[in-house]
Structure 1
Amino acid sequence: MVRIAIDAMGGDHGPEVVLPGLMKVVERRPDARFLIFGRAEKVRPLLDGYEKLVAVSEFTHCDVAVRMDDKPSQALRQGRWKSSMWKAIEAVKNGDADVCISAGNTGALMAMSKFCLRTMASIERPAIAAIWPTIRGESVVLDVGATIGADAHQLIDFSILGSAMARALFAIERPSVGLLNVGVEEVKGQEEVKEAGRLLREANLKSMDYHGFVEGDDIGKGSVDVVVTEGFSGNIALKTAEGTARQIGEYLREAMSRTLRAKLGYLLAKDAFDLLREKMDVRKINGGVFLGLNGIVVKSHGGTDDEGFAAAVELGYDMVQAGLLDRIKIELDIFHGKALKLREKAAEDSVAGEE
């Protein structure tokens, strides 16, 4: 049984999308149980219409709903203790739930998650990891917006977090990891990226196959299982990819409806277009996982529909089933143990050189 805490008030549509999304999860994940938090006058009338969902849920009224335009500091100050977002996160902290899902304000969700759950002992900053469809299948990309700018050690932390998620999600024993850069040559890029690459090569971790540097077009190719970058460039890459998918979809719809011949061609190739539409459906990969915290939090896109919200919930479910937190803790301990040995060796070599 996986216990899932739900912020029913998050997103552009709140419970009108959240509850139908949960019904889809009930049908597909019969061992899921839900702790739903929200304003009773908004949630109860809708929830009572879903008999199967009521049977596997517990609802808690909350006085406050964090708005999508609230500043993180404002939401943390005013929504702490009373908001549906805080209560859902707190359920994970208290051990009442295994994962928290919210489509609410990203900044507020991250601020509350960090304050309530805290980061893991060796993690300086958390990251948001997204699932990215590729030619080869899927990859993990992080960070896509939590940390603007990152030093070498933070990039290494992201590499470990991302590889643990890839192992859990894709059942790959040794995921390939690449650092996003302006070129694949070792002499290119920022010093932080080059230093992170050097340290990863020297560590030679058994939990990951460090590939080296990758470029932007490698993300869609699926050149590696995990693409690591800092939040500014990662968020731009994510939003650009989503926008490009919608742009191509609009181009196809316009082209297929322009003439009678085009409409006939669409009918003849409908199966192929349906497959393309499914592959380009951003709802299928909805959900960013907050990594590096003492608990699992998944952020759903605020404007998604019920199918997209269900995908985010199922992503959180899968992370719990795969034991994501335990995997991360083990791999962090292994890396930091190796890093300590490398530092000690470097210090010994330095002393020997002076003598």
Structure 2
Amino acid sequence: MRDPTMVVTVFLVFATTCPLPKGDAGAVAAVRASDHGQPPHGRSRRDATTNRPPDQAPANPKGLDMSPDLWHSVPPYLKQVLTSIDDRLRGLDAFGSALRLTRLDFSLEQVQRKLDSFDSRLGRLEAKLDVRLEKVEEALSGRGKDAASSSQQQQQGAADAFHLSRRFDMLADKLNNKLAFLETKLDMRADRLANKLELLERDLQDASEDVLEKMARGDEARARLHADMSRLADMAERADTAQRQTATVLRVDVADVIKRADAKMDLFSNEMLAANNMLRALQQQGNATQQAASSCQAMSADAPSWEQASELCLSYVQISWYMRTLLK
């Protein structure tokens, strides 16, 4: 029969050298927590830094509230701009989440590969242990050996099993330490990525506030421009009205001037006719005077008579009167 101490030793060796199950990081953390006496569903480092339970949803979900009660007084173009900004923020949030999940998947794949390598090493060690245990069993079940040699072999097998168990314990501790280091590293990377996403979200929020401020300034400038355009339109309308009134007044004044000019032209034409008549009369008087002078020269050297002298004086008076009338 086998020694009970040997059986217990072999059982402990098998229990300590059995490979860890392949799974995700949550299962590994649960196993580590159960080994250290902690509850499997404790808070992680990320949950401790954010001061929030792991399964608790955020109180304020991201995105705009599109209820019509809040948007009835908002201009359509501003609503469109805010909606486009919200869509871009949602796209960036989705991109950041996808990037974070991709990095976490890559890190988990690396951890999985390391766990597989540890599993293969543990499998090789388990195979070596099986070979040694088979040798121990063969040595224990050998016939024709005395009790002293069998007891020595049993002690040697127990010592080998103890050394192997110690080595497996050391490997398990190293594996646990490496898993803790990897989990800490993953938490640090997750915190760093979360900080970068928060900074990006803050930058996007600042950019959206700047856009809204610029839009408000644009609305104010447009209102001022509209007021200036209205004032210019009023000034143009008043100028048009004044131009029309001036054109009407000028048209009336020009008509009056033309009428007065026509009257003056008529008066001037009448005066010209009178002057022509007077010139004709003067020409006739001159002809008569010339005839009288020629008749006087044809007379003898005797002195003129009183009638001829009076006719000459009368003709001279008439000529002077016509000249005065013409000059007037």
TM-score range, shorter chain: under 0.3
TM-score normalised per structure 1: 0.21
Whichever of the two has the greater Rg, that structure is 2
Higher helix proportion (structure 1 or 2)? 2
Q: Which structure: greater strand fraction?
A: 1
TM-score, with structure 2 as normaliser? 0.23
